[in-house]
Structure 1
Amino acid sequence: MISLRRIAHVSLLTRDVAEAAPRWSVEFGLAERERSADRVRLACDDEPFSVELVYSEKGGLGHVAYELSRSCTLDDARRHLEECGVGWEEKEGALEVEDAEGNRVRLLGYRREDERMRFTPQARPLANPAPGHPRRLGHVNFLTANIREQLEFYTRVLGMKVTDWLGDGGVWLHIGRDHHVMALVDKGYSHFHHLAFDVVDIGQMRAALDHLGRRGRWVAWGPVRHGIGGNIASYVRIVEEECFVELYCDMEQLEDDHEVRRWPDDRFSSNTWGQLPPRSYFRFDEAAIASERESLEMLGYPLPEEVST
């Protein structure tokens, strides 16, 4: 069997590491941990790193990494992958596999915490000098064209458990008490949608959004209160790396005997406070970006159909 402890980091491909690293650091309050000519690693707080920026001309997602539980060694994970008939590669002391749509997933060995981690965050030595930084990387979300095949991979191969369904078109999965560590939303094509940073409360979210707005970012959707998951969330588009960053707080914590729920696919399940997301929220083309930047949908200009390439 395989057992995951937590999400470890997201690796994003970027065409200009020297530009991207300070941008992520300044905009989201992340601390630089490592730097080389083609890679920079950034942390929220005490963790080794949460976001990795790697040079690539194509851009997009590099991989999502998960740490194995204390009881599951890398050898255990290898045997499990082989029993599942899933190929793997050795990458930097970790195991790397592909999900059903070719997204790379990296499995890291259990990391023993150092001595200072025994203390509560406010009592530890300062790990990140940036005020108001997020507490941690919490989860990721993917758009998919093969929700059943993807679900089978993340449950059978990686051992995640289903938390909730949104009709038949969305599924949320967990590995601990947090409502979800990842989600899959069926939109007819595969794309990494967002990574999510946990913030203390809506007050910290407000300050972060003010900061991002002054730097030219915009909220594509939010703040909202999700029915599914219960979290308060705001989604900021990152044009350069073709994804969103979610800032969230107040996520539902699961009981040991949690039973899977199937929510109706309606506005309330997505946002108990109000509207569904704009159509552009599920797209990454130039027309969608322009529509959001200028609020064209709200001004009565329909979003053009996406042109396939």
Structure 2
Amino acid sequence: MSAEPIARLRALRAVTLRSTRCADSGEFYREVWGLRQVETDRDAVWLRGSGDEHHVLQLQQAEQNALGKIAFAVATPREIDAAAARLAAHGVGLVTEPGKLDQVGGGYGLRFADPEGRLVELSAEVEAVVPGDPYGHAAVPRKLAHVVLNTVDIDAACEFYTRVLGMRISDWSEHQMAFLRCNADHHVIAFNQAEFASVNHIAYEMNSIDHFMRGIGRLKHNGITPLWGPGRHGPGSNTFGYFADPAGLVCEYTSEVAQVEEDAWLCRVWRRTPELSDLWGTAGPPSKDVRAHMRGVPDPGYSAWWRS
């Protein structure tokens, strides 16, 4: 009998990015992108959206761009403890044992690595914050929408995240991309088949399509034009506008992500055509420049830099 998934993941909580230009990127996300700074130190900055998560993005100064960590929300510390035992049953070792997390925002959690060396954190009881814009007037990100990762083996990545983490595949874009969910959002993680593991892009959800367009307008007012967009994707039905931060990492504004009804949703395989990558027909296919940014640089994984 196979081991059961380690926990019920409630949401994608936050992402940590290792950045070659941490200070400049911190200013970009704070002053232009619309996130609010929670805390900073010499080589790191933590930023939040307008929602109730303590922070959605941490930037760390590094010699090369890379993924630092993906954090998922779990309901209780008891579930964290149970997840540790289930990880052992799956043959997955722990990087950080269950306990209080010594980090900004605190919480109770654990950490482990996926098969390509990405650091994954499960946490509960992270410090609460009051929503920053409860009426949703400002054209700023509400939450982290999804993380897209390049992988050398899309089938192995999907197998791990479904079997071990209990995620579900919502859709495929042929055999090139897979979209995975942990709640009603169409996807919180997506994998793109590539020649090496790396960060493809990070997406931030705006409250509405009006907020989405006003956010793009604010960037254009600051002299920053989209790498790709605005448009609307087929898989997920979400709007998109892709930009590059000062370190060259790709960030996306999105809105109106499809909501999945578990008992009624049918996973489909989308063809990879310009008409389906942008249903509006306003953005056209991604350019070579967009693809180069999303390709990123080879990410050796947490073991190359992590010190527990």
What are the equivalent positions in structure 2 for 1:82-93 lying under 5 Å apart?
82-90=88-96, 92=102, 93=108
Query: For the Cα contact (< 8 Å) 1:3–1:71, is it kept in 2?
Result: no
Partner of 1:122: 135
- Corresponding position: 1:99 with 2:104: no
Equivalent AA in structure 1 for residue 135 of structure 2: Q
Q: Deviations over 1:75-115 (max 9, x none)?
A: 1110111111111211635322222222222211255867x
Partner of 2:305: none
Equivalent AA in structure 2 for residue 109 of structure 1: A
Equivalent AA in structure 1 for residue 201 of structure 2: H
Tell me the secondary structure at the aligned position of residue 207 of structure 1.
helix
What are the equivalent positions in structure 2 for 1:43-122 lying under 5 Å apart?
43-45=48-50, 46-70=52-76, 73-90=79-96, 92=102, 93-111=108-126, 121-122=134-135
- How big is the shift at 1:210? 2.2
Query: For the Cα contact (< 8 Å) 2:250–2:293, is it kept in 1?
Result: no
Q: Mark the CA change 1:223 to 1:170 in structure 2 (over 3 Å): closer, same or farther.
A: same
Query: For the Cα contact (< 8 Å) 2:138–2:211, is it kept in 1?
Result: no
Q: Deviations over 1:256-276 (max 9, x none)?
A: 212222222323332112222
Partner of 1:267: 274
Q: Deviations over 1:32-51 (max 9, x none)?
A: 11222222111012320011
Tell me the secondary structure at the aligned position of residue 283 of structure 1.
helix
Q: Mark the CA change 1:38 to 1:173 in structure 2 (over 3 Å): closer, same or farther.
A: same
By relative contact order (CA 8 Å, sep 6+), the higher-ranking structure is 2
Tell me the secondary structure at the aligned position of residue 227 of structure 2.
strand
Higher mean alpha-carbon deviation, 258-267 vs 40-49, is at 258-267
Higher Rg of the two aligned structures = 1
Partner of 2:285: 276
- Corresponding position: 1:252 with 2:261: no
The share of aligned pairs that are identical, in percent, is 28
- Corresponding position: 1:238 with 2:253: no
Query: For the Cα contact (< 8 Å) 2:95–2:113, is it kept in 1?
Result: no
Q: Mark the CA change 1:217 to 1:100 in structure 2 (over 3 Å): closer, same or farther.
A: farther
Equivalent AA in structure 2 for residue 105 of structure 1: V
Distance 2:252 2:17 in 1: 15
- How big is the shift at 1:233? 1.0
Partner of 2:8: 3
- How big is the shift at 1:9? 0.7
Q: Mark the CA change 1:42 to 1:80 in structure 2 (over 3 Å): closer, same or farther.
A: same
- Size of the aligned set, in residue pairs, is 278
Distance 1:166 1:19 in 2: 34
- How big is the shift at 1:71? 8.7
Query: For the Cα contact (< 8 Å) 1:2–1:72, is it kept in 2?
Result: no
RMSD value over aligned CA atoms? 2.6
What are the equivalent positions in structure 2 for 1:183-202 lying under 5 Å apart?
183-202=190-209
- How big is the shift at 1:21? 2.1
Q: Which one of 131, 144, 150 corresponds to residue 143 of structure 1?
A: 150
Partner of 1:303: none
Distance 2:110 2:259 in 1: 29
Equivalent AA in structure 1 for residue 292 of structure 2: R
Q: Deviations over 1:226-263 (max 9, x none)?
A: 111111111112241x3211111111111121222222
- How big is the shift at 1:151? 0.8
